[in-house]
Structure 1
């Protein structure tokens, strides 16, 4: 017995010295599950406190809505946290509140209802013309909102919506998104999995100070319009350490369409995208536009891995869009199996009813550097607008290895102007080689959101 006691004591000392067990973000500790957030909360509640049943069959729409209603008065007193425990929680649309955290535990899945009546119709966005369903998780005019977890899941159950869309439904109505937050500030969406959204997955609109990190998004590669993350008319946003497999653009940067976006005039600016992994055979890793009528500027993109993706960064616009795309900076891309590497489109002809043909977009100061690609069909398709060329395009230190089925014309360039350095295959004549010492710009400063330090919180 003495030998056993001595051995146990030595084991305890060794574990203590080694620091085991380690307490990492999103794992259990004596205080609960620890995680990182912009703010911690004084008050806590569990979804089951409001009568929710996690059997995957019972509707919990009433429970989610009642939970938010009852917790809202506490939010001003140090904030409130609603914990979604393990289980399958079927629900329709529900709204969030300020100073609020929705924490989805590992083993918990929020299941989106497939009943259209569970999604109310809400007013169109000022910079768009479409009627629309409310998203599954929605918030407007909020401050200090966190949607997070330790790898809990939101499942949009999108198949029935996709089938109806392909059969001609929803032509004038936007299908529900998984998460949409509008006219809000200090937003964090992190450490959760999103599956099979009916349409776009994450859509912050007219927001400031947005953090989106450690998100895994999955949808079939042929699912319609299942964009991953769409920052739209937002200022000071960071998207980092995310993985997207989708039937549409992995990230789509937007700011409204045609006369609606021009009149609203809220740009997307101060956007950082870093450490993204994307699979999307029919769309872009990062799309800029085509809805860019409010303007898009100061976008920094770095450390991106694209696998079996149609194009790297695709700038999409058209006559009638107005607005601008300028001061775009991208570096350190690794690409495998691409149709295009560089793609700019000046004739993207998706328009709402009526547009001003005199509203021409400005595309300028586009910088791409330090990129490698293999198994590529076409190096570049750069199509500006006649009498409105895309200017200030810079490419440096880019190596593209072609596929066995490559096209003969590798650089298809019209109505563009810029320079290149150390780019293979040799670019088109509209992008002349300026020698081996030139590098395209990438900012050395940080946007403000990159300096935010998150707090260690507990659920």
Structure 2
């Protein structure tokens, strides 16, 4: 077993196997010889532990095998009950002042404990070296009164040094934003843990209607700006005003065993969108939202030129992603580049697209994607499992201009993005509908290389037509095979497709094509 997270009162563990998200068999979890519960996922947690205490967790498989791990929980300086600061937790009274005062007063290394109850509050600011511990049936409930939410400036200017001090951003731009529900800036060593829930009141607060007319960008559920060592463990997050978790220019941001939920029709409620971060771990999470489940970003071109901070060292593993536009997406705000990313042992269910990379002209020369691996993925009911789209039609003001959509080979300049080598391996995809794989590079900047290896994709009998990618003039298709255009090198090995209508392989503008064990040969 892997020990993913160890705090003062909780631990998160991971079974070592090759099964996406679910264990091959059910197992029991015992603590010091007493059975706690049964589970069937590769990642599991134990809560309500005592600080600085030795424990032993045993996993007993249905087949009879057992595995044990021993550990000592971390120490803490103190535990403070939020009700001792006057929080009512009755779902009626406002608890903002009580909670924020408790956070401010909490000693370094302390834990703020929320017993069962509903705590109505406005946005809260977290501070370094503290833990928020939400017990089972504890709910942090956002008050749906947008006029009382502070607006955070994109940056201020230091009157002494005349240097900018950045504070806020959204969708790849430095712009003013409403304060996010849980907000941290220039902080470190923060944890939010427990079996409780954070509810952002997205619908009740009117955040999902006419939001483009707001005086500032919507806040997120959790926003951390230029922070280090931030961990979320076990909590449930639901009904965010927009993106749920948004680490921004931060280091070592980890999410273990969390659930993120939003209605399928809620706008821009991406589950986890790390932007220009170094060291992100998303492991053992259930993500079901109204947009991308995970979208890795590094800003639009102006921000990339200014900070030159790529997304780096991201690990996504053993997650279940449902019903979003894309399960794991790179971009489209990726102007500073994305590198050293792996997505493994994940299960995608009912998303429009599975593994999705989206870019476009105008993202810039630093928009380079390198060392990206997608491996051991299971998909069911994903309309188009694999998409690489360098013609993305996003909400930028020039989205409908000829520069964006022209199929001519344009001159390469400072605005031209690039796509390095991409590897898609060991995938089982059932009940696809639109296309098996749709990869469309730019004529002036083709995708460097694509490897498709050990992949089986089958289509639903009642598949309906749709657009495989979001680009200008996209045409509907249904049960399309592998489509690759403007890719320099293509390697297809041990790939089988069932239920394709038409050719199984459509390739154009390719320098090198190698196939082995492909049933479309």
What's the TM-score bracket when you normalise by the shorter of the two chains? 0.7 to 0.9
Instruction: Please identify, of 222-231 and 128-137, the stretch whose mean Cα deviation from structure 2 is larger.
Output: 128-137
TM-score (norm 2): 0.74
Q: How does 1:192-203 map to 2 (within 5 A)?
A: 192-203=235-246
Q: Can you list the C-alpha shifts for 1:50-69, whole angstroms capped at 9, x where unaligned? A: 11111112111111211122
Q: How does 1:269-280 map to 2 (within 5 A)?
A: 269-280=312-323
1:169–1:58 CA distance, 2 compared to 1 (3 A): farther
Partner of 1:342: 386
Partner of 2:349: 307
Q: Can you list the C-alpha shifts for 1:140-188, whole angstroms capped at 9, x where unaligned? A: 1111111111x11101111134x55433544663212111111111111
Report the aligned-residue RMSD: 2.9
**Length, aligned pairs only:** 415
Taking the aligned partners of 2:32 and 2:110, their CA distance within structure 1 comes to 36
Taking the aligned partners of 1:45 and 1:372, their CA distance within structure 2 comes to 48
Q: Decide whether the 8 Å contact of 1:239 with 1:272 is kept in 2.
A: yes
Instruction: Please identify, of 91-100 and 123-132, the stretch whose mean Cα deviation from structure 2 is larger.
Output: 123-132
Q: Decide whether the 8 Å contact of 1:311 with 1:343 is kept in 2.
A: yes
> What's the offset of the Cα at 1:423?
1.7
Higher relative contact order (CA 8 A, sep 6+): 1
> What's the offset of the Cα at 1:349?
3.4
Q: Decide whether the 8 Å contact of 1:130 with 1:172 is kept in 2.
A: no
Q: Can you list the C-alpha shifts for 1:206-232, whole angstroms capped at 9, x where unaligned? A: 111222110111111111111111111
Q: Decide whether the 8 Å contact of 2:52 with 2:74 is kept in 1.
A: no
Which of 109, 130, 134 is the aligned partner of 1:100? 130
1:108–1:334 CA distance, 2 compared to 1 (3 A): same
Partner of 1:441: none
Q: Decide whether the 8 Å contact of 1:284 with 1:310 is kept in 2.
A: yes
Taking the aligned partners of 2:482 and 2:215, their CA distance within structure 1 comes to 37
Taking the aligned partners of 1:215 and 1:347, their CA distance within structure 2 comes to 33
> What's the offset of the Cα at 1:347?
1.8
Taking the aligned partners of 1:429 and 1:191, their CA distance within structure 2 comes to 45
Q: Can you list the C-alpha shifts for 1:383-402, whole angstroms capped at 9, x where unaligned? A: 21231111211111111101
Taking the aligned partners of 2:255 and 2:375, their CA distance within structure 1 comes to 20
Q: Decide whether the 8 Å contact of 1:193 with 1:217 is kept in 2.
A: yes
Gaps of 5+ in 1: 1-16, 439-459
Give yes or no for the alignment of 1:131 onto 2:203: no
Taking the aligned partners of 2:215 and 2:440, their CA distance within structure 1 comes to 29
Q: Decide whether the 8 Å contact of 1:136 with 1:176 is kept in 2.
A: yes
Structure 2 counterpart SS, 1:236 = strand
> What's the offset of the Cα at 1:29?
5.3
Taking the aligned partners of 2:516 and 2:45, their CA distance within structure 1 comes to 45
Taking the aligned partners of 2:308 and 2:208, their CA distance within structure 1 comes to 31
Give yes or no for the alignment of 1:379 onto 2:436: yes
Structure 1 counterpart SS, 2:347 = strand
Q: Decide whether the 8 Å contact of 2:424 with 2:453 is kept in 1.
A: yes
Taking the aligned partners of 2:72 and 2:240, their CA distance within structure 1 comes to 25
Which of 139, 148, 151 is the aligned partner of 1:118? 148
Q: Decide whether the 8 Å contact of 1:136 with 1:179 is kept in 2.
A: yes
TM-score (norm 1): 0.83
Taking the aligned partners of 1:31 and 1:236, their CA distance within structure 2 comes to 27
Q: Can you list the C-alpha shifts for 1:246-271, whole angstroms capped at 9, x where unaligned? A: 10111110111122233221111011
> What's the offset of the Cα at 1:428?
2.8
1:18–1:264 CA distance, 2 compared to 1 (3 A): closer
Partner of 2:199: 155
1:27–1:69 CA distance, 2 compared to 1 (3 A): closer
Taking the aligned partners of 2:247 and 2:396, their CA distance within structure 1 comes to 22
Partner of 1:26: 46
Partner of 2:360: 318
Partner of 2:493: 421
Q: Decide whether the 8 Å contact of 1:128 with 1:261 is kept in 2.
A: no
Structure 1 counterpart SS, 2:273 = coil
Structure 2 counterpart SS, 1:63 = helix
Partner of 1:392: 449
Q: Can you list the C-alpha shifts for 1:280-337, whole angstroms capped at 9, x where unaligned? A: 25x0100100010111101011001111111111111111111222211011111111
Taking the aligned partners of 1:37 and 1:368, their CA distance within structure 2 comes to 39
Q: Decide whether the 8 Å contact of 1:256 with 1:262 is kept in 2.
A: no
1:220–1:87 CA distance, 2 compared to 1 (3 A): same
Partner of 1:14: none
1:269–1:169 CA distance, 2 compared to 1 (3 A): closer
Q: How does 1:18-417 map to 2 (within 5 A)?
A: 19-20=33-34, 26-28=46-48, 40-71=75-106, 74-75=107-108, 79-124=109-154, 125=168, 128-149=173-194, 151-161=195-205, 163=206, 165-167=208-210, 169-170=212-213, 173-281=216-324, 283-322=325-364, 323-350=367-394, 358-377=414-433, 378-404=435-461, 405=463, 407=478, 409-417=480-488
Instruction: Please identify, of 424-433 and 99-108, the stretch whose mean Cα deviation from structure 2 is larger.
Output: 424-433
Taking the aligned partners of 1:164 and 1:81, their CA distance within structure 2 comes to 31
Instruction: Please identify, of 422-431 and 299-308, the stretch whose mean Cα deviation from structure 2 is larger.
Output: 422-431
Taking the aligned partners of 2:102 and 2:479, their CA distance within structure 1 comes to 61
1:102–1:433 CA distance, 2 compared to 1 (3 A): same
Gaps of 5+ in 2: 1-30, 38-43, 58-70, 155-167, 404-412, 465-477, 498-503
